[in-house]
Amino acid sequence: MATLKAVLFDLDGVIVDTAKHHFKAWKQLANELGFDFTEDDNERLKGVSRMDSLNILLEIGNLVKNDKEKEELAARKNERYVKSISKMDESEILPGVQAFLTELKDNNIPFALGSASKNAPIILKKIGLYDQFNAIIDGNSISNAKPDPEVFLLGAEELSVNAENCVVFEDAQSGIEAGKAAGMYVVAVGNPNILKGANDYINSMEQMSIERLS
Ligand code: B16
Ligand code: MG
């Protein structure tokens, strides 16, 4: 890749595993609406915004709702999700993350968050990483969800770095596509048979170092 000058991290699935909390809350909602929601179904929601996730869920249940009903359902799911993540602490930071952040700081390479989640600031505060990020771009700051590159382009802009000098870490297909569309080097955290089109693949942040990106 071009010289590494900044790093952009997705949150859910890269820094911390919140997918299990999202799954529990979506499953409860689906059950209340009269259908089941499986872990495989949940894979389709990774990296997808809250309202788009609800639309996928309703499609799975063959249900049609109006905008007002959708707002109520999304709010109900979020209330439970926020309650469920309220007990999170730094022990939930995924392996290798803190060591890599420390290596970046030691080498004066700034890093930002690029997440679809509107709950990103709460989560970062819970796990004690909020103050370590040079910029936080989340679901509250963007108008176009991943795979649109907006979230990562805003991150690069806030860090005053050109897109080609940025690395993106992502665990979702929509996020990999967003990073590529932004013109960045994308490292997928996950299975190459499921995640397509990244520049590099790791199973865990433990495998990452600045040297690997040089
Ligand atoms: P919220 P990421 C995404 O976060 C999650 O992967 C996705 O499952 C979730 O629906 C989305 O955030 C919105 O989250 O309801 O908290 O706003 O992976 O982009 O960090
Ligand atoms: Mg993610």
pTM: 0.94
Known catalytic membership, residue 40: no
Residue 43: the pLDDT is 87
Residue 10: the pLDDT is 97
Please give the number of the atom of ligand 1 that sits closest to the Cα of 120: 16
Please give the number of the atom of ligand 1 that sits closest to the Cα of 47: 6
How would residue 121 be classed by pLDDT, with cut points 50, 70 and 90?
A: very high
Instruction: Please tell me the residue having the least CA distance from ligand 1 atom 6.
Output: 47
HSE toward the beta carbon, residue 11, CA cutoff 13 A? 28
Cα(11) to ligand 2 centroid in Å equals 6
Q: Which ligand is nearest to the CA of 146?
A: 1
Known catalytic membership, residue 131: no
Cα(74) to ligand 2 centroid in Å equals 19
Rounded to an integer, the average pLDDT of 159-178 is 97
DSSP E strand stretches across 21-126: 111-114
